[in-house]
Amino acid sequence: MITPRRTRLLRVPDLAAFQATLTDVAGQLTLGSARSTFVLVPTRAASEQLRRTLEDRLLTAERTALVLPILGTRNDWYGELAARLAAPPRVVSAFEREVILASVARAVAEQGVEPPFEIRPGLVAEMLDLYDLIRRLGRSVADFDRNLRGELERDRETDRGAEKLLQQTVFLTAVFERYEARLDALGAHDEHGLRGLLMGIADDADRAACPHPLARLVVTVGDRVADADGLWPADYDLLSKLPLLECIDIVCTEAMLASGLLERLHGVLPELGEEWPGGPAARAPILMTPPPAPGGGPAPVAYRYRDREEELSAVARRLKAERRSGSLDPAPLHRTALVVRRPLPYLYVARDVFAGSGVPFEALDTLPLASEPYAAALDLVIDVVSTDFARGSLVALLRSPHFQIGPDAVMPAKVIAALDAALAESRYLGGFNRLEKLAAEWSAIDVPGSRDERRRKTAAPAAAAALEAVRPLAPLAGPAPLASQIETIIGWLRRFDRPIDGEMPAVSRRLRVRAAVLGALRSLADAYRFHDPEATGDVSSVAAAIRRWLGSQTFAVTTGEPGLQIVDAQAARFGEFDDVQLVGLIDGEWPERFRRNVLYPSSLLVQLEPLPINPDPFRRERDALNAARAAFKDLMLLSRRRVRVSSFVLENDAVVEPSVLLDEIDTLPLARETSPEMRMRVFQSEALALEPRTTDVLAGPARRWAEARLERSTLTPERFQGAAGAWTLPRVSVSRLERYLDCPFRFFASEVLKLEEQPEDEDTRTPLERGRFLHELFERFFEEWQQRGHRRIDAASVPEARQLFTTICEDVLRDLPPSEAALERTRLLGSAVSPGIAHRVFSMEAERATDVIERLLEFPLQGDFRFRARDGRERIVTLSAKTDRIDLLADGTMRVIDYKSKKTPELKIALQLPIYSYCARVSLDGHGGRKWVLGEAMYLSFEGNKAVVPLRAKGQTVDDLIAGAHDRLLATLDRIAAGRFPIQPSKKSLCGLCPYAAVCRLEYAPSEEADPDD
């Protein structure tokens, strides 16, 4: 016998009546009936919102205490039903379900029923979703197999995709059957088993089996077509058959019922009676709209902004302006709501926007646990192993404020920086053994004999501490049972935890997040140990499992403080507000995109839908859209006084379309009033940046700092554009001046401030080392060539030159590691596809007819040189330089050569070649009793696009180019001496790999590239 029950549909005209009906239900409860009444709401945030509304409405001066019914979600309802049984069943957690399913999936595959995909944690979750879908639709695994297999077998001859889906169906059927058998064997239940258990309780045993049943259920959600958090066919089946449930009240607005829900409810609950408890609809709020466009036409219904940030900024501006002017009789902040479809992006933006404008706000939604800093720090622990203890991940671990590594609470930043640089210099590319070796070597340094050794000695304590920290993690690198791998991580997190100091809310939040992370890891480890002890894996499997789990966990946090309410669309239905703004009305969000199953197309899954509910998948999507329209209309009428809607056009710099729901606004009975955008300044940044500037908006050190900055506002703008004050260049070097011309600020960072560059991981020689290697190689070759009595390399002597060069190369390549030597050999001597560096150098000479009398290699240009600018200025500059090569030729001319590894400098800023050519002419005057004329100057590029780039420009002689270089040299010296170091890269591409990009405020600099003649 089924318990006699009353099943009512309480039809209400709008959300005001919806809330009033719920208030009536709650207000009439006694202590006893409240304990047996469950109000089913869509989300936890909705439950909190309803609790507040009920307390606001029911608590009065006369009624100071309230007994509320149980408020909870669908999951909470199942949990409550299980907990009320005399012998509560063992219900498996979500952790356990995934582990069990992964375990049986592996076993099924090992027995030869192969899946057409690789079994990964993400796909296990999708398989579980599919299983839940089947069971929530009220179908069994056998139904799934029969329906899909029948359909697919019909198509397998003509459709190759069907064959694959058939294989998948065979596999999934076997997995789901094994999963159910495993739960049976454990005597445990999931949601579906629990439902069967509850419906199977014999009526005569009702009272004994469930001594304190839920006698009344108030349903505030729709079905799963109308509501993502709604009830499924299997839930309605449970409602019909659940013993001892005496009363079911479904509360729903007329708009939602008219969207198709009414028909569906009568389909699943044939005994449903209808009542109209509420009065007439409440007065509709006024729709506030932006003014019409200047050209005329009707006012648009929605405010439009650039992006979410600008949208919230406008909200802050309006709220402050309304309160300052007092003209609009603003609603109190706690009765002002921003209704969002997806809370997360707004919660992140709100923290900055509302903090910056001093608007308190509150949100009830949960945030992803993975986005909390402590949870993100767990990635550092995983990364250090998955990167094989690479330099970057080690340093990141040491810098994390969440872990205490080494004896001190905080490891000094300069020690960590020294470790970073020392590891890079040692060409450390990871490996626990290598780290151990380096740590031992560095700790043995007693009296450092060089700069490198000094750095290593400084880094030694950090290396030792890092080694001790990662030693317990080393087993993660190899395969081991997943349960013990996760235990290793839990143990590490406990051992190296660094408690944080700070203000209480932050400390308490961090403690709660840490407890949640450790709790999630503990549950995962227990699930593996109990249900899948044979599951093994290394750090990549552990990382995938942990990331999958942390990614699906949420963390309840009250964001902000009481004030403006940021509520999601589900929770908003339960709140009372005077001023409502529906924000983010864009396509894909209002309404949310329909989530499709990744394993099967909708056209196949529709076979599982219970008749007569929507056998047509497109009809179901249409019904869902109708329900979204109805929910939107309800929300538009939620406010007691004013409502606004807003949208934006850019999401992550991509254009987004406005929501189709905006079209519904014209169908609503809303009076309209235009309200222009408020222009007043409300942000701290505006108070500090716009005149009249004020620091009142800040407190503490921030205010003192701002005041100090404002006092300096008399400084000339030049001080902010690179005027650093006079500076003396200790020693003039032309390559340094060229560096200044590349970018004065980069020169300032490296030469004046002496900021160290961020170390890079190099497994081979650095470009500098390789450049030096090539220079030395050619110096040695040409010395030997000349000693053997040779002069010019011509076509006839190229084979001999090549032979000699090969011999010298083989000699020096012996000092390189074999793999690097092989690569270098190909670069130098060439291959089938590339002629090689030697060919470039020899060809340059062979193509020129004049004989070479002498080669001056690494020729020093030292002493005082007189430079004269074209405007008549003159200065003697002491130089100490070396030119790569000067060839003295038989015709009394000389050829100045500057070797370059790849790129050659732009002639308009190049200094070295013209200045060295000039200095060579001066220095060699009278050399060998002759006067030498500059015949040619060139860059010889070893591996650039062009082998030879002559010092030549259209319409200019070499002397013109040298005169231009004199101008630049003197101007550059003047600018350095005057301390002018603006952010002025000679070309923007330099900034891409610039090591000083982090300290250079390029975004504030004028956009033009440098004028070298400036």
Residue type, 912: Q
Q: How distant, in Å, are the alpha carbons of 4, 224, 492, 518 from that of 233?
A: 21, 8, 46, 37
Q: Length of the chain, please?
A: 1014
Nearer to ligand SF4, 107 or 991 (CB): 991
**Closest approach of ligand SF4 to the CB of residue 1000, in Å:** 3
**Closest approach of ligand SF4 to the CB of residue 979, in Å:** 16
Rounded to the nearest 5°, which phi and psi values hold at 60? -135, 180
Half-sphere exposure of 875 (CA within 13 A, CB side): 16
Nearer to ligand SF4, 485 or 984 (CB): 984
**Closest approach of ligand SF4 to the CB of residue 903, in Å:** 15
Nearer to ligand SF4, 449 or 1006 (CB): 1006
| Longest Cα–Cα distance in the chain | 126
Would you count residue 221 as binding ligand SF4 (CB under 6 A)? no
**Closest approach of ligand SF4 to the CB of residue 744, in Å:** 8
**Closest approach of ligand SF4 to the CB of residue 905, in Å:** 15
Binding-residue pattern over the window 459 to 478 for ligand SF4, x denoting contact by CB under 6 A: --------------------
Nearer to ligand SF4, 472 or 995 (CB): 995
998 is written with which tokens? 């982090």
Would you count residue 888 as binding ligand SF4 (CB under 6 A)? no
Candidates 37, 1000, 1010, 1012; binder of ligand SF4 (CB under 6 A) is 1000
Cα 933 to the center of its chain, rounded Å: 62
Sites for ligand SF4 among residues 543-582 (CB under 6 A): none
- d(CA 556, CA 512) in angstroms, rounded, equals 10
Q: Is 819 exposed, middle or buried (0-12, 13-18, 19+ CB in 10 A)?
A: exposed
Nearest alpha carbon to residue 514 among 332, 372, 699: 372
- d(CA 567, CA 338) in angstroms, rounded, equals 6
Cα four-point dihedral sign 867, 868, 869, 873: positive
Choices 389-397, 405-413, 798-806, 995-1003; region in contact with ligand SF4 by CB under 6 A: 995-1003
List the Cα angle 846/852/858 in 5-degree steps: 100
Rounded to the nearest 5°, which phi and psi values hold at 724? -100, 0
Nearer to ligand SF4, 465 or 983 (CB): 983
Nearer to ligand SF4, 563 or 722 (CB): 722
Would you count residue 119 as binding ligand SF4 (CB under 6 A)? no
- d(CA 746, CA 722) in angstroms, rounded, equals 11
Answer whether 917's CB lies under 8 Å from 958's CB. Answer: yes
Nearer to ligand SF4, 608 or 997 (CB): 997
**Closest approach of ligand SF4 to the CB of residue 972, in Å:** 15
Nearest alpha carbon to residue 914 among 952, 888, 871, 872: 952
**Closest approach of ligand SF4 to the CB of residue 1002, in Å:** 5
**Closest approach of ligand SF4 to the CB of residue 19, in Å:** 57
Candidates 162, 172, 994, 1010; binder of ligand SF4 (CB under 6 A) is 994
Would you count residue 909 as binding ligand SF4 (CB under 6 A)? no
Buried/exposed code over 745-783 (b: 16+ C-beta within 10 A; e: otherwise): bbbbbbbbeeeeeebeeeeeeeeeebbeebbebbbbbbe
List the Cα angle 825/828/829 in 5-degree steps: 80
**Closest approach of ligand SF4 to the CB of residue 753, in Å:** 11
Choices 181-189, 368-376, 676-684, 997-1005; region in contact with ligand SF4 by CB under 6 A: 997-1005
Q: What residues contact 532, with CB distance under 8 A and at least 6 apart? A: 99, 100, 102, 103, 482
**Closest approach of ligand SF4 to the CB of residue 720, in Å:** 15
Candidates 34, 58, 109, 1002; binder of ligand SF4 (CB under 6 A) is 1002
Read out DSSP for 936-999?
EEEEEESSSSSSEEES-BTTB-HHHHHHHHHHHHHHHHHHHHTTB-----SSGGGGTT-TTTTT
Nearer to ligand SF4, 593 or 754 (CB): 754
Nearest alpha carbon to residue 895 among 846, 932, 869: 932
Q: Tokens 């946090």 — which residue?
A: 557
Would you count residue 406 as binding ligand SF4 (CB under 6 A)? no
Binding-residue pattern over the window 10 to 49 for ligand SF4, x denoting contact by CB under 6 A: ----------------------------------------
**Closest approach of ligand SF4 to the CB of residue 756, in Å:** 14
Q: What is the DSSP pairing of strand 650-651 with strand 654-655?
A: antiparallel
Nearer to ligand SF4, 683 or 996 (CB): 996
Nearer to ligand SF4, 437 or 719 (CB): 719
Would you count residue 391 as binding ligand SF4 (CB under 6 A)? no
Nearer to ligand SF4, 69 or 985 (CB): 985
Q: Tokens 């709209």 — which residue?
A: 289
Nearer to ligand SF4, 13 or 985 (CB): 985
Answer whether 440's CB lies under 8 Å from 434's CB. Answer: no
**Closest approach of ligand SF4 to the CB of residue 994, in Å:** 3
Nearest alpha carbon to residue 976 among 715, 738, 720: 738
**Closest approach of ligand SF4 to the CB of residue 861, in Å:** 28
**Closest approach of ligand SF4 to the CB of residue 949, in Å:** 23
Would you count residue 829 as binding ligand SF4 (CB under 6 A)? no
**Closest approach of ligand SF4 to the CB of residue 751, in Å:** 12
Rounded to the nearest 5°, which phi and psi values hold at 213? -75, 165
Nearer to ligand SF4, 812 or 991 (CB): 991
Q: How distant, in Å, are the alpha carbons of 316, 434, 562 from that of 682?
A: 7, 56, 20
Long-range contacts of 197-200 (CB under 8 A, 24+ apart): 197/89, 198/81, 198/82, 198/85, 198/238, 198/242, 198/243, 199/237, 199/238, 199/241, 199/242
Nearer to ligand SF4, 524 or 743 (CB): 743
Number of Cβ within 10 Å of residue 401's Cβ equals 12
Nearer to ligand SF4, 524 or 994 (CB): 994
**Closest approach of ligand SF4 to the CB of residue 981, in Å:** 9
Long-range contacts of 450-455 (CB under 8 A, 24+ apart): 452/422, 452/425, 455/418, 455/421, 455/422, 455/425
**Closest approach of ligand SF4 to the CB of residue 985, in Å:** 4
- d(CA 766, CA 779) in angstroms, rounded, equals 20
Sites for ligand SF4 among residues 734-773 (CB under 6 A): 743, 745-746
Q: Is 451 exposed, middle or buried (0-12, 13-18, 19+ CB in 10 A)?
A: exposed
Nearer to ligand SF4, 428 or 747 (CB): 747
**Closest approach of ligand SF4 to the CB of residue 971, in Å:** 18
Q: Tokens 């029923």 — which residue?
A: 113
Would you count residue 1010 as binding ligand SF4 (CB under 6 A)? no
Q: Considering CB under 6 A, how many residues would be counted as binding ligand SF4?
A: 12
Nearer to ligand SF4, 72 or 985 (CB): 985
Choices 48-56, 441-449, 531-539, 994-1002; region in contact with ligand SF4 by CB under 6 A: 994-1002
Binding-residue pattern over the window 932 to 971 for ligand SF4, x denoting contact by CB under 6 A: ----------------------------------------
Binding-residue pattern over the window 964 to 993 for ligand SF4, x denoting contact by CB under 6 A: -------------------x-x----xx--
Using CB under 6 A, list all residues that contact ligand SF4: 743, 745-746, 983, 985, 990-991, 994, 996-997, 1000, 1002
